[in-house]
Copies of this chain bind each other. A is one copy, B any other.
Amino acid sequence: MDGSPAPKSVLARGLTLLGAFGPSDVDLTLTELAARTGLPKPTVHRLLGELVGWGALERTGNGYRLGMRLFVLGQRVPRPRGLREAALPYLEDLYEASHENVHLAVLDGIDTLFLEKVSGRRSMPIISRVGGRLPAYCTATGKLFLAFGAPERLRRVLRAGLARYTPHTITMPGLLVRDLARTLERGYGINREESEVGVSAVAAPVFDHRRRVIAAISITGHAGRLDLDRLAPAVRTSALSLSRELSHATANGTLVVPAPALDHGPAVDQGDTGRSCRRASRASSSVATSSGAS
């Protein structure tokens, strides 16, 4: 339960404690945290005290949870923020046109990381959550980063292995390479139930001023209902418009998008790369907005 066998520096230990919270954890007890991080309990106790004092954690009855201040801080992170703000109008246009799940994603290491998601009651509920990640090779957005990116990227992905998520997941390197070639020539990426059964998606690349892919926009929905090739032009158009709008921002460095370290050797302890998401139950909740509005 401890990739790095207990760091010695106080700061690193504190951060390790924060990192011990997985994507679906809510409350963790002191003992649990001590176990996960491999730190002695008294030490954990003291550090937790400081983290709570600062607002990174909050006490809850008998446990700890991530605190509001981390949420606020997270919203300030420049890379997602700039992209999201610029992209939102386009995502919303796409949503309004399709009423399906619309995603904005960037590459993070080997995974697609979702920066924003626009969806509604009518959209198919899918796993995927802002801040969540999925392997690049089995997502429409991720394939774009692999198809348009440096070959080294692809090599790293292949080296990590192609795990099977559904019967449609591409697990043969050769097939993936061919699929990526098609992606490149088509100009858009497709995922046919490769990450989740019954779920398909189309994605188009967002370029910076040098035509490097810095992000991707996708529409995701029910595999049966979604006509991917018909949606593709819409997604591409939006992505291109966004690229154009961003071009000056990427040129003058206002918006720095490429990951800072394209390949840090032993890779920063990623914490958890695995299945991140799961959806809140989203009960029926019959009543909706009714009364008239402009």
Q: Number of A residues whose C-beta is below 8 Å from B?
A: 98
Counted per complex, copies of this chain come to 2
Shortest distance between the CB of A179 and any CB in chain B (Å): 24
- Tell whether, in the assembled complex, residue A288 and residue B93 are in contact, meaning their CB atoms are under 8 Å apart: yes
Q: Are A291 and B12 in contact (CB under 8 A)?
A: no
Stretch at the interface among A49-57, A144-152, A206-214: A49-57
In the complex, are the beta carbons of B66 and A77 less than 8 A apart? yes
Q: What residues of B have a CB within 8 angstroms of the CB of A285 in the complex?
A: 89, 241, 244-245
Among A1-55, those with CB < 8 Å from B are 9-15, 18-19, 21-23, 25-27, 47, 50-51, 53-55
Which of A94-102, A157-165, A169-177 sits within the interface? A94-102
Interface check A292, CB cutoff 8 A: yes
> Are the CB atoms of B237 and A289 closer together than 8 Å?
yes
Is A121 within 8 A of B89, CB to CB? Answer: yes
At the interface, yes or no: A167 with Cβ under 8 Å from chain B?
Answer: no
Contact present for A79 and B74 (CB under 8 Å):
no
**In this complex, what residue of B is CB-closest to A131?**
B75
